[in-house]
Amino acid sequence: MLLDGKVVVITGAGRGIGREEALLMGKLGAKVVVNDLGAHFDGTGASAGPAHEVVDEIKKSGGDAVANGDSVSDFKGAQRIVECAIDTFGKLNVLVNNAGILRDRMIFNMSEEDWDAVIAVHLKGTFNCTRHACVYWREQHKVGDVLNGRIINTSSDSGLLGNPSQSNYGAAKAAIAAMSFIIDREMAKYGVTVNAIAPVARTRLTVEATPATAALMGQGTGEGEFDVFNPRNVAPLVAWLASDDAADVHGEVFRVGGGTVWAMQGWHSAAKVQQRGVWDPSALGTKLKTELAKGGTRKETMADVFAGGL
C-alpha cells in the first residue's frame, strides 16, 4: 500500500479534514497518531471523544492508531505529540499540521485575545510540531537512519487571497505557506520535504464559524452524487504528498477541493515602472496608476474560486 510502514502524526484529526486524512492514511497502511484537543471551533473547551472515535474507526478497518490530546499551541505539548509517535510506533515519518480554530472579527472589533489565540494554534502550533519533528529527523539522519520525513502544512485561501474579518487567521495561513518553502529549503539535505495545502471543504470552520461560506458550500448532495465540498476530497493529495512517490515535490502550495488540485504561486512581479534616478512622487504615482489600469495585477479573490467552480 502507498503508506505501508509509515508512522504519521495528524494534528486536529478528530473532525473534518484531519479526520478524513487520518482515516485514508490508516487504510493505506500508515500507523496514525490522531491528535486532537477536542475543542470548540473557537478553541475553547476540550474533549477526548473525537480523537478516540477516529482511532476506533481506523482499528475497525484493520489499521493501527493511537489518540493524543495535547495542544499544538504548547511547545512541550507539541514535543509530546512527536514523542507519542516514536514511543508507540518506534519512529515518525510524516507530520500533517492541520489543527486550527477561528475567531473572526473585523479589525476594529478584534481583541488581543482573538488575535493571540488564532496565531497560537495555527502559526505557533505549526512551528512547534514542525520544530520537534525536524530535530528528530536531523538527529536520525546524523546516525545514518534516513527517514525521509514528510511535512504537509495547512494554509488557506484566506491567507493566499485574503478574506474580510480574518486578519488573524489569514495572517497565520499566509505565514504557514511561507514557512513551508523556507523550512523545505532548510531540511531538504536531510531527505525531508515540506509542502502545504489550501483546502476548500465543508468543515466546522467553514460552516459553523463562517455562515457566508457555508451558504456557498451548501449542505451536501444526495446519495450517490459527488459532493465537491466534502472534506474527504482533500485527503488523497495529503496521502500522496506523504508517500515516497512525492520525494521530489519540494516547497509547493496546492489548493485542493472537489476533484481539482491547483498548483499555486506566491508573490511574484506582475508589473513594474522604472527610471534611472530618484522618482518624483507625483510622476511615480502617474506611472503606477497607468500600469495598474492595464489590469495585469488583478488579484484572484475567494469569490472567484467559488464562482469558477471546483
Annotated catalytic residue, options 156, 165, 180, 243: 156
Cell 494534528 belongs to 11
- Dist. CA 192–CA 219, nearest whole Å: 38
Our answer to whether residue 173 is catalytic in this structure is: yes
169 tagged catalytic: yes
Beta bridge partners, 95, equal: 9, 151
Residues 6+ apart with CB under 8 A from 12: 18, 35, 36, 72, 98, 99, 100
Q: Report the run of H or E that residue 200 belongs to, with start and end.
A: none
Report the run of H or E that residue 22 belongs to, with start and end. helix 16-27
CA 208 to CA 70: how far, in whole Å? 24
- Of the candidates 6, 31, 173, 180, the residue annotated as catalytic is 173
In whole angstroms, give the CA distance from residue 237 to residue 8: 15
Determine which helix (DSSP H) or strand (DSSP E) holds 235, and give its type and residue range. Answer: helix 235-241
Looking at 31, 73, 167, 169, which residue is catalytic? 169
**156 is known as an active-site residue:** yes
Q: Which residue has cell 482515516? A: 23
Nearest 5°: phi and psi at 9?
A: -105, 130
- Known catalytic residues are 156, 169, 173
